[in-house]
Structure 1
Amino acid sequence: MASEISSSSLLARAGDLIDLAKKAGADQADAVIVRSRSRSVSVRLGKVENTQSSESDDFSLRVFVGQRVASVSANPGFDLKALAERAVAMAKVSPEDPFAAQADAKDLAHEFPDLELFDPTEIPTDALTEEALACEAAALAVQGVTNSSGAGASAGAGGLVLVTSHGFSGSYMASRFGRSVSVIAGEGTKMERDYEFDSRLYAADLESSAEIGRRAGERVVKRLHPRQVPTASNVTVVFEPRLARGFVGHIASAINGASVARKTSFLRDKMGQQVLKSGLHVTDDPVIVRGSSSRPFDGEGVRGERLVMIEDGVLNHWFLSTSTGRELGLPTNGRGVRGGNSVTPASTNLALEPGDISPEDLIRSIGTGFYVTELIGHGVNMITGEYSRGATGFWIENGEIAYPVSEVTIASNLKDMFMRITPASDIDRKFGTAAPTIAIEGMTLAGR
């Protein structure tokens, strides 16, 4: 990864594939190459457990014959003509899809902003090993940490090459560097486990391995000797930012156009209505410079723009690709993502915008409640909104973190939870989904 990987030869190859598909009888076609380069090292207790290195260029061709569509995939070295003919033959015998189509030519991106997504920094395997070992050593040095589940360091890049039959040709690469560690505190049946990590587009932006390890150690030690608390209703639950990001993911799922079209979202009939507490805003922006999930164009060649998905609690937009938009009678908003041979809508740099109160003052204002640091299980029904998950964390008394808590379940309905969110001010936008600490009133807590 010494320099940004040239895509010129792949663009030419994709263009040839489009020409052959049209000669074979396709009305329209697009060719995609998904690029991936990665190298990683994992260690445990001071010894290297695994090193991995991989490179791939995965080709996909999608062809349209009338309203019939088919897709085929191949690895480098395939016969272009045979692949194109096979795709067209498959399309001709496929059932018609009234919504399948390429993006309109007027929606295609023609200028690609420099979003600074690629860092050419080369990190040797030995250096990755040193960083992973340093991360683990810093965690093990925290008093009370008794064992390690392992640490890792990685460097890589991924990107997209896209050529369409109606005039689009473009490519981009984004780098990724990461560090992580997981450690254990306590002994026997009283062990606790926790972790810490960092992931950035640019190597120089990574937090130090010593800092990541120290935080992991401190987190797990704080979890020792947890108590159970009695069952209670109308509890205010506070989600730390790490978990709040996952909660915002539920919002994203509920406003995904594909879920709306399938009628698998409990917000499917709520466009233009209030779905979050007044004053809350959810934004999605694919063109943030050095944004974790930024891109100059989507999986169909459409350039997206910043959208306020939910403004002052009111739902403004679904995430839409071309086909999903057609199904819902709406234009794409540049959120198409290639997944295998399909295009589905998804968020980019998604954020629940912060409030004005610090997390410390938010906790003080609660008085008594539950501060969650880990969620267990997948008890979320996106059709009905029912929410029930196992949780561990800390009890809040007199506005302060009092003692660790485990073996409880928190429950409510997402419809109600969305209307009771209070965000703090501590948002960190380094991840593709960003959220501050959030408090949600009126939840049920099942304990002893």
Structure 2
Amino acid sequence: MTDTLEYLTQSLLQRAKEAGADAADVLAVRGNSISIDVRNGVLEQAERSEATDIGLRVFVGKRVANVSSSDVRADSLAIMAERAVAMAREAPEDPYVGLADPAQLAENRKAEWLELYDPTPEPAPADLEQDARDAEAAALAVEGITQVSASSAGYGSQEVYLAASNGFSGGYQRTSRSTSCVAIAGSGTGMERDYDGDQRIFQADLRSPAEIGRTAAERTLERINPRKPKTGAYPVLFDERISSSLIGHLLMAINGAAIARRSSWALDLLGKEVLPQGLSLTEDPHRVRVGGSRPFDAEGLATQKRDIVKDGVLTGWTLDLATARKLGLESTANAARGTTGGPSPSVSNVTLSQGVKDRAALIADMGTGLVVTSMIGSTINPNTGDYSRGAAGFWVENGEVAYPVSGVTIAGNLIEMLKTIVPANDARPWLSRVVPSLLVEGLTLAGE
């Protein structure tokens, strides 16, 4: 069939070779999505999109160029290949670019075992609209909620295919199903809002719209009449909803692109303790029914489970082929890309060791401090790790939540912060980043 992604990618590879490319790879993505928004019980917006996008990367010696298009007609592919080769011939040489050696390529190129695709029929728009209505109604049924600013439901299906002149050819499918709700309480300057939502690969795994709407409402009401805490140094508990941002800063710092540029606060931390002893941070691209899973990376290398941090010690960088060559290392099979550009290093699923205490026990251990449930803005120095973010949440006194807080700034240094984290045991196992609530000692709070 001439409309399959395998046919399109192989056809474009052949066009690139005919145009004068020494090597090439092609990423094709075909997908459709539906998004429904409801407000005040009335359909506010309904969108559906269907598209096929294709990206071509060509090599002429050590020169490389990328082009992309959503026009996959035969004559357009020919023009695309010719333009890409012409661009590559004018590009500067890069000694680190190039495809993987055939011996490096993944042998298993199927993804059925990862359960990334739900064969359940695509939901009808009316069913999605009803889910959004149900979430809104559940939120509004909670006393004190004045309005719902957004209640949404969506579905997406995507097919991905990668082919390269080194012999790689493989692809897989993904689906996603989501529901979300944002509730509002209060009025004027006393207005507060919060949200809840869920996104899963399999529709049967999705939490009910009623639960999502009710949780959004309850979270909103908890935030009414916030105060500012006194300025000082206090322990801070990063709620599970936002705790993965701390680990995200570490993942950015150990990204091979930042290391190769020597613009990372983690530059000298390889083989050293970056988390408390006993904690590990593991990447596992093979977790079943998890959105970040994949059988191979964007350069055709087999993905694999690895310990990024083991027993508190940083074991390595996150690398694609180019950054690995720059650093004289081997790729960790972490290449990611879209159709509009070339590969770059990126992690997939990560899991941080969980603790033995639940969130309530860590709050009790705090004595006096702050529980952060949302953050606004960010000032992170990529070279030093100096950290400053606006936050909102709840003030804790004598080990118990006393009142809501907003308009506070948290400051510290990521190198020191990460070394003191104490994890709870409340991480959601179906997320791509499984990170529990994290207690951090001695951060500076700027309040009143």
Partner of 1:40: 35
Partner of 1:247: 246
Letter in 2 for 1:73: S
- Match status 1:91 vs 2:88: yes
1:92-111 map, 5 Å = 92-111=89-108
Cα deviation per residue 1:280-333 (whole Å; 9 max; x = unaligned)?
111111111112200111111111101110111111121111111111111111
Give the whole-Å Cα distance in 1 for the aligned partners of 2:239 and 2:206. Answer: 21
Give the whole-Å Cα distance in 1 for the aligned partners of 2:365 and 2:396. Answer: 11
Give the whole-Å Cα distance in 1 for the aligned partners of 2:229 and 2:349. Answer: 37
Cα deviation, residue 8, structure 1: 7.4
Letter in 1 for 2:264: S
Partner of 1:273: 272
Conserved 8 A contact 1:154-1:179:
yes
Cα deviation per residue 1:15-46 (whole Å; 9 max; x = unaligned)?
12212222322211111112221101001111
Partner of 1:18: 13
Cα deviation, residue 78, structure 1: 5.0
Choose from 6, 9, 21 the match for 2:4: 9
Name the count of aligned residue pairs.
Answer: 442
Q: TM-score, normalised by structure 2?
A: 0.96
Q: Secondary structure at the match of 1:214?
A: helix
Partner of 1:236: 235
Conserved 8 A contact 2:62-2:93:
yes
Give the whole-Å Cα distance in 2 for the aligned partners of 1:260 and 1:124. Answer: 47
Give the whole-Å Cα distance in 1 for the aligned partners of 2:354 and 2:130. Answer: 37
Cα deviation, residue 83, structure 1: 2.1
Partner of 1:65: 60
Which runs of 5 or more residues in structure 1 are unaligned? 1-5
Partner of 1:74: 69
Q: Secondary structure at the match of 1:180?
A: strand
Q: Secondary structure at the match of 1:357?
A: coil
Q: TM-score, normalised by structure 1?
A: 0.96
Q: Secondary structure at the match of 1:425?
A: coil
Give the whole-Å Cα distance in 2 for the aligned partners of 1:405 and 1:138. Answer: 26
- Match status 1:409 vs 2:421: no
- Match status 1:212 vs 2:212: yes
Cα deviation per residue 1:80-128 (whole Å; 9 max; x = unaligned)?
3332222222212211011111122222112135211001222000000
Partner of 2:45: 50
1:252-331 map, 5 Å = 252-331=251-330
Conserved 8 A contact 2:100-2:166:
no
Conserved 8 A contact 1:237-1:441:
yes
Conserved 8 A contact 1:249-1:433:
no
Give the whole-Å Cα distance in 1 for the aligned partners of 2:30 and 2:337. Answer: 12
Partner of 1:175: 175
Partner of 1:30: 25
Partner of 1:185: 185
Letter in 2 for 1:279: G
Q: Secondary structure at the match of 1:289?
A: coil
Which runs of 5 or more residues in structure 2 are unaligned? none
Conserved 8 A contact 1:161-1:170:
yes
Give the whole-Å Cα distance in 2 for the aligned partners of 1:23 and 1:227. Answer: 68
Give the whole-Å Cα distance in 2 for the aligned partners of 1:71 and 1:398. Answer: 59
1:110-149 map, 5 Å = 110-111=107-108, 112-113=110-111, 114-121=113-120, 122-149=122-149
Give the whole-Å Cα distance in 2 for the aligned partners of 1:73 and 1:40. Answer: 25
Cα deviation, residue 7, structure 1: 10
Q: Secondary structure at the match of 1:443?
A: strand
Conserved 8 A contact 1:7-1:171:
no
Partner of 2:434: 434
Conserved 8 A contact 2:359-2:424:
yes
